[in-house]
Structures are given as structure tokens and as C-alpha cells.
Amino acid sequence: MSWMAWTQTTAVFFGVIACMLIAMTVWELRCPSTERRGFLPIETSRGDRLFIGLLSSAYIHLMFLGLTELSLWIALAVSAVWLAIVLRWG
């Protein structure tokens, strides 16, 4: 039987995602959001924008891996900025 090798980086990654989901759940329970329209072509709630931002950040990382020789730290920076933009103005 083979087991997945959990590195510290992997654990931190999934821990951060879990903390984001918990924080968004608490925020939604304390202050329910309304759907609004930003630069995305659909009306979205905070949770929708978080999901879209995380998914598109994954694609940014995949593009960096497949198309460039640049460091993944640059992809992380680009993804973090993109996620902030989507959450704020998406």
C-alpha cells in the first residue's frame, strides 16, 4: 500500500485553504452576503468569488509550470494578487 507523502508545504497549503473556508463560513453566518455584479460576467456572492479565485489561481500555477521556467514563488505572488482582485472587485 502506498501513502501520499505529506510535506510541510502541502500541509500548510491545505491548512490555509481550510482556514479560508472556515473564516468565510463564519463571516457569512455573521453577515450574510448579497449577490453583486463586478467585472465577472455573472452575479456572485463572496463564496462564489473565493471559489472562482482559488480555481483560477490553480490554473495560473499550472500555466507557470507548463509554459515558463520561472519560479513558482512568482506564480504564488501573481495568484495572491489575482485572488485579492477577484475577491474585491469580481
Position 27 in a domain: yes
**Stated pTM of the model:** 0.80
With b for 16 or more beta-carbon neighbours within 10 A and e for fewer, the 9-38 pattern comes to eeeeeeeeeeeeeeebeeeeeeeeeeeeee
- pLDDT score of 1: 60
Position 3 in a domain: no
Tens digits of residue pLDDT in 45-61: 998 999 999 999 999 98
Number of domains making up the chain: 1
Position 71 in a domain: yes
Position 78 in a domain: yes
Residue 21, domain extent: 8-89
